[in-house]
Amino acid sequence: MKIVICASEVVPFAKTGGLADVCGALPPALEKLGHEVVVITPRYKTSNIKAPEPIVRIGENVRVCFVEHHHYFGREGLYGEAGGEYHDNLERFTHFCHESFQILKQIKFSPDIIHCHDWHAALIPVLLKTNYHDDPFFKNARSMLTIHNLAYQGVFPKRQYDKLGVDGHVFHTQGLEFYDQVNILKGGIIFADVITTVSPQYSKEIQTHELGCALDGVLRNRALDVYGILNGLDYDVWNPKDDSFLDFPFGSSDVNEHKRQNKLVVQAALDLPLKEKIPVFGFVGRLCEQKGLDIIMEIIDGIVEREAQVIFTGVGDKKYHRMIEEAAHRHPRHVGKFLTFDERIAHKIYAASDFFLMPSVYEPCGLGQMIALRYGAIPIVHKTGGLADTIHLYDPIHKTGNGFVFTEYTKEAFMEAVEEALKVYRHKDQMEDLLDQALRYRFSWEKSAKEYDRIYQKCIL
């Protein structure tokens, strides 16, 4: 099949989150299944590209085509700067979507599937069924929209509608109209042939009033065409045995000893007392409400009282920077922080932690918990979205499960999960068994790519 992947960020060129990881890993996995893939993405000022060419070949059958536009993409940020969004994001990504069609014609790649990611590419399914409806070049093309986080929808004032350049009138309730505004993601959901999201559980949750971000009704109308496919993890990138960021790389045979050493390194860097036996709880992630910082702050004194350390890495809302600073100030011997976005530090924290806190309010898929397992930091998670699909409660009797899970979103339930984790930590045999299971867990891209393939096939029938 001829497959096009359209996305606003793709590893290794540009990344702000999990979307980029997925769009970097999926094309080579599809190539392995025998498909020909073209990736289309903007060339940002900050994109990591050496060649000036507009097309880069990254595999025998995978090409990346860049949409170039100095005014729109020659800026410091991908979507905005200094915590704000660019005022012309509608124009920027509308241009990206229109250009994608032109590029495909220029390179004479008449696709079977155009796989669009998030709102930035969600106008493409709309254009395919309007502007390009009768175009023989796109006669066979079907579209898939993948939603990586339903909270980001591309909503703009209705006076901007005309800038979308859609032939025909689609500004109505069965189109892009949304409470008298333009909603680009909504258009994608209605016009795409098929819709996926990044975990089976999240695919159900987005159809509920509670987690549907006001699009649950629109998604329920498409219920038969909505699928959940779990993201995989790139196990070559995330490999503690061969990780140049770690002072003490490790495999399953030396995880205990080297985790202790890595812990001492991080404790020293954070000015915490050097205690190799103290249980360490790590957090790596965006500092925003979604990631559960509020509930962590509600129990952090309780964790510290139980003689454990908590270490944070992240950047985000000022409110959470302040809350973490205050907790570190209250507990200088037990709470440490690197409030920065730094790949090297993130790797060190995963490797130094015994447990990984991920009590997200909602979580489309989540890579943090997968990475944590790979680095022997046992996840403690809220049972939601991709966390519910990937982390299962450890049962020391039957020796099943890979972490600790709480269901009700209360500080009591979260604290109970932390207590359970500490109980296992004190039982050397149980902890060793759990670590062994964690390190062996795999979420492969091969499996995810096969599922995408199955749905592409359904789509073109």
Q: Report the interface residues with ligand ADP, using CB under 6 A.
A: 17-18, 284-286, 313-315, 341-343, 346, 365-368, 371
Q: Which residue has the tokens 């409660």?
A: 393
**Is the CB of residue 261 less than 8 Å from the CB of residue 248?**
yes
Cβ of residue 18: shortest distance to ligand ADP, in angstroms? 3
Q: Tell me whether residue 70 or residue 318 sits nearer to ligand ADP (CB atom).
A: 318
Q: Tell me whether residue 313 or residue 353 sits nearer to ligand ADP (CB atom).
A: 313
Cβ of residue 117: shortest distance to ligand ADP, in angstroms? 12
Cβ of residue 19: shortest distance to ligand ADP, in angstroms? 7
Q: Is 162 helix (H, G, I), strand (E, B) or coil?
A: helix
Output the CA–CA distances (angstroms, integers) from residue 40 to 21, 62, 114, 139, in the order listed. 15, 11, 10, 20
Burial class (CB in 10 A: 0-12, 13-18, 19+), 386: buried
- Phi, psi (deg, nearest 5) at residue 338: -120, 100
Across 90-119, b (16+ Cβ under 10 Å) vs e yields bbbbbbbbbbbbebbeeeebebbbbbbbbb
Q: Tell me whether residue 365 or residue 417 sits nearer to ligand ADP (CB atom).
A: 365
Q: Tell me whether residue 94 or residue 360 sits nearer to ligand ADP (CB atom).
A: 360
Q: Tell me whether residue 188 or residue 366 sits nearer to ligand ADP (CB atom).
A: 366
Q: Tell me whether residue 343 or residue 395 sits nearer to ligand ADP (CB atom).
A: 343
Residue 59 is classified by DSSP as E
Of 341, 353, 335, 326, nearest in space to 271 by CA: 335
Q: Tell me whether residue 187 or residue 292 sits nearer to ligand ADP (CB atom).
A: 292
Q: Tell me whether residue 4 or residue 365 sits nearer to ligand ADP (CB atom).
A: 365
Cβ of residue 30: shortest distance to ligand ADP, in angstroms? 20
Output the CA–CA distances (angstroms, integers) from residue 304 to 93, 243, 339, 346, 349, in the order listed. 46, 30, 20, 22, 18
Cβ of residue 313: shortest distance to ligand ADP, in angstroms? 5
Cβ of residue 185: shortest distance to ligand ADP, in angstroms? 16
Cβ of residue 286: shortest distance to ligand ADP, in angstroms? 5
Burial class (CB in 10 A: 0-12, 13-18, 19+), 277: exposed
Q: Is 314 helix (H, G, I), strand (E, B) or coil?
A: coil
Cβ of residue 341: shortest distance to ligand ADP, in angstroms? 4
Residue nearest to ligand ADP (CB): 18
Please give the structure tokens belonging to residue 63. Answer: 């090409």
**Is the CB of residue 184 less than 8 Å from the CB of residue 153?**
yes
